């Protein structure tokens, strides 16, 4: 149960106002959200030296609009990549805008991220953002009515619940793309964090980060996080899959995924004594180590350097529309795509 207040955050370049919603729990943890992109703008954890900001991102609307690498964003309607920017449904081919290298479609071309969502705040402080997309935007089929609800518990659990329904059969796969640094947003890289992933298989990719088909075991590779390892221990190993992506940027297949809320990952920072556990109902999680961050200016005007934050993006597997062997995220007209992901913050 959180107390939620709203305030103006800034303006977009076309003059529209961005509103910030801050949920605070009884322990003094504060999570701020924006109606623009349904972003997680900030997560402040109570800490010995004062509140600790554990998300890497922006404190100005211009950052979210113009300097974003999806910091805190909701990505959709199809997060991650679609190979060749095309797929078929019932024998009809859909050609999408290819916003990455002119070849692939990434994060729905930023559609969800760069939209002003409608907002409703519930009596328990939960915040629901809603956006109904027009059918065919960026070539993508379906007028999808998407709702994303953030709720903060007194137990340090930030829950994100997605409920999307389309007027025609289509693929649906939203995610949240927060970059975390449990040492604090300006504490340097995340290489000394330890990570555990409850995933004994991953989806191997090609040079465009598109799955090549099927899954492979992580055992015996630097992608094996079934026991905790420092992120930096093997990130630059001479291993084909890591060379292709410049470090960890892979979808991991969550062991035993069955649609119920399961622990997918946990990350720890020894310097601050903080741990984040990630639970999800979804079958996959993209572990992205921030390899492509290039020093763009973020919060307090500080540069967001390579690997200064990591993402654990819960999702259906990338390129599922072209991979019938992957768990399906094709939904009929009127069928709801519902999922939940929880980021839980605890002191170790």
Q: Catalytic residue positions?
A: 177, 313
Give the whole-angstrom CA distance, residue 218 versus residue 204.
10
CB 175 within 8 A of CB 281: no
Place of tokens 């649609």: 259
Shortest Å distance, C-beta 209 to ligand BGC: 6
Q: Using the 8-state DSSP alphabet, how is residue 134 labeled?
A: P
3-state helix, strand, coil in the chain (%, to 5): 10, 45, 50
Q: Which of 70/171 has CB closer to ligand BGC? A: 70
Of 35, 65, 268, 313, the residue at the interface with ligand BGC (CB under 6 A) is 313
Mark the segment that binds ligand BGC (CB under 6 A) among 19-27, 91-99, 197-205, 284-292.
284-292
Touching ligand BGC, residues 115-174 (CB under 6 A) = none
Shortest Å distance, C-beta 113 to ligand BGC: 10
Q: Which of 141/211 has CB closer to ligand BGC? A: 211
Q: Which of 41/68 has CB closer to ligand BGC? A: 68
Touching ligand BGC, residues 95-114 (CB under 6 A) = 106
Helix (H, G, I), strand (E, B) or coil at 108: helix
Helix (H, G, I), strand (E, B) or coil at 300: helix
Of 53, 111, 249, 319, the residue at the interface with ligand BGC (CB under 6 A) is 249
Query: CA dist 248 to 177, 291, 311, Å?
Result: 15, 8, 10
Q: Which two tokens stand for residue 28?
A: 């003094």
Count, residues in the chain:
348
CB 313 within 8 A of CB 125: no
Q: Which of 142, 210, 130, 158 is nearest to 43 (CA)?
A: 158
Asked if residue 69 binds ligand BGC (CB under 6 A), the reply is yes
Of 22, 98, 209, 215, the residue at the interface with ligand BGC (CB under 6 A) is 209
Q: How many residues bind ligand BGC (CB under 6 A)?
A: 10
Shortest Å distance, C-beta 343 to ligand BGC: 16
Of 225, 288, 331, 343, the residue at the interface with ligand BGC (CB under 6 A) is 288
Q: What angle do CA 141, 147, 151 make, to 5 degrees?
A: 150
Asked if residue 286 binds ligand BGC (CB under 6 A), the reply is yes
Mark the segment that binds ligand BGC (CB under 6 A) among 145-153, 262-270, 286-294, 325-333.
286-294
Shortest Å distance, C-beta 175 to ligand BGC: 8
Asked if residue 292 binds ligand BGC (CB under 6 A), the reply is yes
CB 303 within 8 A of CB 297: yes
Give the whole-angstrom CA distance, residue 176 versus residue 178.
6
Mark the segment that binds ligand BGC (CB under 6 A) among 34-42, 83-91, 115-123, 285-293.
285-293
Helix (H, G, I), strand (E, B) or coil at 92: strand
Contact footprint for ligand BGC (CB under 6 A): 69-70, 80, 106, 209, 249, 286, 288, 292, 313
């Amino acid at each position: 149960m959180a107390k939620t207040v709203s305030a103006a955050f800034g303006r977009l370049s076309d003059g529209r106002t961005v509103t910030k919603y801050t949920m605070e729990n009884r322990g003094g943890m504060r999570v701020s959200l924006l109606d623009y992109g349904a972003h997680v703008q900030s997560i402040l954890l109570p800490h010995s030296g004062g509140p600790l900001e554990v998300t890497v991102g922006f404190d100005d609307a211009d950052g979210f609009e113009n300097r974003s690498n999806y910091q805190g964003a909701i990505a959709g309607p199809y997060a991650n990549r679609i190979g060749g920017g095309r797929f078929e449904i019932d024998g009809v081919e859909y050609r999408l805008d290819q916003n990455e290298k002119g070849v692939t479609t990434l994060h729905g071309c930023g559609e969800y991220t760069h939209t002003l969502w409608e907002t409703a705040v519930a009596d328990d402080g939960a915040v629901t953002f809603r956006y109904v997309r027009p059918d065919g935007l960026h070539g993508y089929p379906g007028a999808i009515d998407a709702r994303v609800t953030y709720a903060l518990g007194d137990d340090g659990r930030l829950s994100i619940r997605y409920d999307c329904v389309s007027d025609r059969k289509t693929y649906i796969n939203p995610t949240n793309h927060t970059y975390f640094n449990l040492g604090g947003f300006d504490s340097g890289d995340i290489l000394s964090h330890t990570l555990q992933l409850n995933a004994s298989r991953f989806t191997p990719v090609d040079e465009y980060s598109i799955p090549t088909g099927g899954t492979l075991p992580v055992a015996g590779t630097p992608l094996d996080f079934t026991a905790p390892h420092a992120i930096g221990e093997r990130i630059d190993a001479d291993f084909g899959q890591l060379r292709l992506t410049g470090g960890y940027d892979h979808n991991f297949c969550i062991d035993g995924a069955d649609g119920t809320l399961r622990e997918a990952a946990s990350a720890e920072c020894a310097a601050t004594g903080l741990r984040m556990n990630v639970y999800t109902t979804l079958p996959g999680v993209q572990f992205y180590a921030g390899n492509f961050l290039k020093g763009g200016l973020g919060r307090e005007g500080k540069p967001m350097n390579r690997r200064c934050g990591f993402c654990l993006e819960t999702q259906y597997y990338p390129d599922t529309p072209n991979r019938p062997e992957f768990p399906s995220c094709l939904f009929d007209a009127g069928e709801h795509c519902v999922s939940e992901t929880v980021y839980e913050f605890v002191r170790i």
